[in-house]
């Protein structure tokens, strides 16, 4: 049974990480994998995701919500190391 749970857990972690290279996925997965399956499943159900920024891609480029709001996070003196953007229920997450 534990192999089923770990397989399901691994699948859920994979569903959360979108648009990532294998290197980025391998770096992100252990951090998400530290959380229990149930909360991760809840994130997937609510269309949350973790999408790493590409080289030289800004937060504003990655987030339609930031573009719409006119927020230029990338111009902050010290940009955040990670950012959660919410437009009510769904989340866009760039780490």
Give residue limits of the domains in the chain: 1-47, 53-95
Confidence of residue 54 (pLDDT cuts 50, 70, 90): confident
- Mean pLDDT across the stretch 5-13? 86
pLDDT of residue 64: 83
Q: How many CB atoms lie within 10 A of CB 6?
A: 12
Q: Write the CA distances from 78 to 42, 57, 74, integer angstroms.
A: 32, 16, 8
Local confidence band at 38 (pLDDT 50, 70, 90 cut-offs): very high
Q: Which two tokens stand for residue 20?
A: 């990532």
Residues 56-78 have pLDDT tens digits of: 888 888 888 888 888 888 888 88
The chain-wide mean pLDDT, for the chain, equals 82
């Amino acid at each position: 049974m534990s192999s089923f749970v770990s397989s399901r857990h691994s699948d859920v972690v994979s569903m959360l990480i979108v648009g990532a290279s294998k290197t980025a996925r391998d770096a992100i997965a252990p951090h998400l994998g530290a959380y229990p399956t149930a909360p991760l499943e809840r994130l997937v159900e609510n269309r949350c995701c973790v999408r790493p920024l590409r080289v030289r891609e800004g937060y504003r480029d990655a987030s339609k919500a930031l573009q719409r709001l006119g927020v230029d996070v990338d111009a902050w003196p010290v940009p955040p190391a990670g950012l959660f953007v919410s437009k009510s229920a769904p989340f866009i997450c760039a780490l």
